[in-house]
Structure 1
């Protein structure tokens, strides 16, 4: 596929990195330094210029493009780029935007502006926060097969009950597959005798009930449905959307916003949220409002440094779990190292969502793990698939190392995969694999 990416910032660069192995990629940016950097760091072609210009798009080969991804930091610019691309030819266009109002306008006007798909950074970040908050201790959560299958990634701390156990000892759940262990830079596909170590990240795939039971076994933290005290700090667009989504789950979060005008707007717009006007860095206020008793604290201020500060304050006074929004990707590991439970980078979330869309040309659904080191795919088995009519044990032997069948759904019902399980045409199979094997696996299956 011939893909043009406009914008070589964090989002565009991450997308280019994910696509350059399997597609012909051209990156456009106005910044000479960015263009030079991505030219040397990735296997892509580059064009220095303005992506809203027809001449620049033509220089990038728009007439041959199958897809145009507009990923600059300006919503209106991205929409114009998509419209300009449609003037020249008819590639599939994806616009990255931040404001949810633009997304609603686009949806109500039946995909207007020449945009085929919109990816809203603020909304996807909020959805990620709520999804992760739904499982205690989880660092990543995705659903497959219309919610019949869940995938989750959990860190293993020193006090984790599975630390030191073998996978066979830890696997006490009816419909669960231990798909992988991330151990430093290594991806370990475990056997029953593999011992789980402190510091590992465990990826499990299974029924929602089994994944939740596993989460409950790891920690005493409440699940989302049992969480009766959720605090969101910051009335940013991400904070507001997070509150709205929690409200849609039947919860009544509290939101703390310092600016009085913004606080009034949010109070009117979020009927299921109690909005408090105050400075969340005031520890006396946090104690007075019993933030120390909260189950989940989400830091969604407009500053990484303030998000780090309020998250650490919340943890220090006793909050159960903290989730912090981090705009700078290089700070993600720092946040989690110093004590924040989960750090979420909106740009990375957006890049993964856009890359997921390109993967779905060949699969039903995709989740990317550990900055695209590994993936979980959902495929529907057709008669041309190597899986059709064969036992899992026989097929796995013909695939690259590290491929794991995590779950199967048949006629909408969960099937626990075992080596002797025969896969039928029409089944939906959820696979774990390292990204390097993606092309080979998708061709075979």
Structure 2
């Protein structure tokens, strides 16, 4: 399949790198440095130019393209690009947007803007944050199979009860699978004899109730439950959508917004969220409002620097758990290195959703793990799969070793995958797969 990507920023580059192994990928961007960097870092053709220009799109091979992905940081450019492409091409168009009005218009009017599939960065990010808040101590959470299956990642610090145990000793929950350990930048597929070390990030897949119970066994005593007091700093569109998601879950929160007009607007639209009009970097204000006793603080302003400052200040006065929005993906490791519990990158969340949608074989859901070193993939199994009508202990031998079957669902029922489990056509299977063998696995299954 030939795929044309407009925008070589963080989103576009991630998508291009993921798709280049199995597809003919062409990337267009106005920034010559980004074009040069992508040319040398990925197996793609990168072209300098304005992707909203029909002439540039034709030079990039638009008329032969099967799909066009508009992923620049400007909503209007992405919409114009899709509309321009449709004037001479039948390519399937995907647009990334932040403006909720565009997304609502597209949702209510099929084919609006000549966009076939639209991804709302801010809504996806808010959903991601809401999932993380709901699971104490988790640094990453994703759901699969209509919420019947959950993947969660936890970082284990020195002193945690699981440190020093083997995976067999730690695996005390019936409906869980220990899929992998992330250690020193590497992904390890453990067996029962693998010892858990301080600093390991453990990735588990299973029923949400079991993962919730597991999270309480690994969480430090001061890590809050989701029902504890939650404060959002920043009335950005992401901050607003996080508050709205929490309201939908019957979780009341407080939101601090410095701009008086924006604070008034939020107060009129968020019925169950207390809006505080003040500067969140004022420590006296934070103490006066008892923010030091808050369970979770979410820094969601439009500035990475302010999100870092607010999060560090919150930690300093005693907030138990901090979640920060980080627009620049290169900053995310820095945030976590200085003590921020979870850094959420909207661009990574967006790239993940687009990559899922563009897979050659339809993938029901997908989550990228540890800077794209691995993927958790949900597939619906058909009659021709090597997994069909065979016990897992037999069928798994036909797959590479760096594959773990984490969960199976059948007719909306969760099935614990064990060696004797027989997978049937129509089952949904959640796999943990190292990224470098995804293509091999997809071709095998």
Question: What TM-score do the two structures reach when normalised by structure 2?
Answer: 0.97
How far apart, CA to CA, are the structure 1 residues paired with 2:276 and 2:111?
Answer: 37
Instruction: Compute the displacement of 1:159 (Å).
Output: 2.5
User: What does residue 119 of structure 2 align with?
Assistant: 119
How far apart, CA to CA, are the structure 2 residues paired with 1:125 and 1:177?
Answer: 26
How far apart, CA to CA, are the structure 1 residues paired with 2:208 and 2:358?
Answer: 27
Instruction: Compute the displacement of 1:94 (Å).
Output: 0.7
Gaps of 5+ in 1: none
User: What does residue 84 of structure 1 align with?
Assistant: 84
How far apart, CA to CA, are the structure 1 residues paired with 2:66 and 2:439?
Answer: 18
Instruction: Compute the displacement of 1:111 (Å).
Output: 3.2
Residues 239, 11 of structure 1: alpha-carbon distance in 2 compared, 3 angstrom cutoff: same
User: What does residue 141 of structure 1 align with?
Assistant: 141
How far apart, CA to CA, are the structure 1 residues paired with 2:118 and 2:27?
Answer: 19
Q: Secondary structure at the match of 1:88?
A: coil
Q: Deviation per CA, 1:108-149: give whole Å up to 9, x if none.
A: 222301001111111111111111111011111111111111
Instruction: Tell me how large the CA RMSD over aligned residues is.
Output: 1.2
Q: Secondary structure at the match of 1:386?
A: coil
Instruction: Compute the displacement of 1:106 (Å).
Output: 1.3
How far apart, CA to CA, are the structure 1 residues paired with 2:108 and 2:363?
Answer: 28
Residues 408, 357 of structure 1: alpha-carbon distance in 2 compared, 3 angstrom cutoff: same
Q: Deviation per CA, 1:347-368: give whole Å up to 9, x if none.
A: 1221122112113743222111
Equivalent residue runs for 1:166-177 within 5 Å: 166-177=166-177
Q: Deviation per CA, 1:356-415: give whole Å up to 9, x if none.
A: 211374322211111211011111111100001111111111211211111111111111
Gaps of 5+ in 2: none
Instruction: Compute the displacement of 1:89 (Å).
Output: 1.4
Equivalent residue runs for 1:36-435 within 5 Å: 36-219=36-219, 220=221, 221-224=223-226, 226-227=227-228, 229-359=229-359, 361-435=361-435
How far apart, CA to CA, are the structure 1 residues paired with 2:363 and 2:267?
Answer: 42
How far apart, CA to CA, are the structure 2 residues paired with 1:87 and 1:61?
Answer: 14
Question: What TM-score do the two structures reach when normalised by structure 1?
Answer: 0.97
How far apart, CA to CA, are the structure 1 residues paired with 2:366 and 2:259?
Answer: 39
Do the aligned partners of 2:255 and 2:275 also contact (CA within 8 Å) in 1?
A: yes
Instruction: Compute the displacement of 1:338 (Å).
Output: 0.6
Instruction: Compute the displacement of 1:420 (Å).
Output: 1.5
Q: Deviation per CA, 1:185-233: give whole Å up to 9, x if none.
A: 2211111111111111111000111111110111143332x32x11000
Do the aligned partners of 1:70 and 1:81 also contact (CA within 8 Å) in 2?
A: yes
Do the aligned partners of 1:403 and 1:431 also contact (CA within 8 Å) in 2?
A: yes
Q: Secondary structure at the match of 1:4?
A: strand
Do the aligned partners of 2:224 and 2:321 also contact (CA within 8 Å) in 1?
A: no
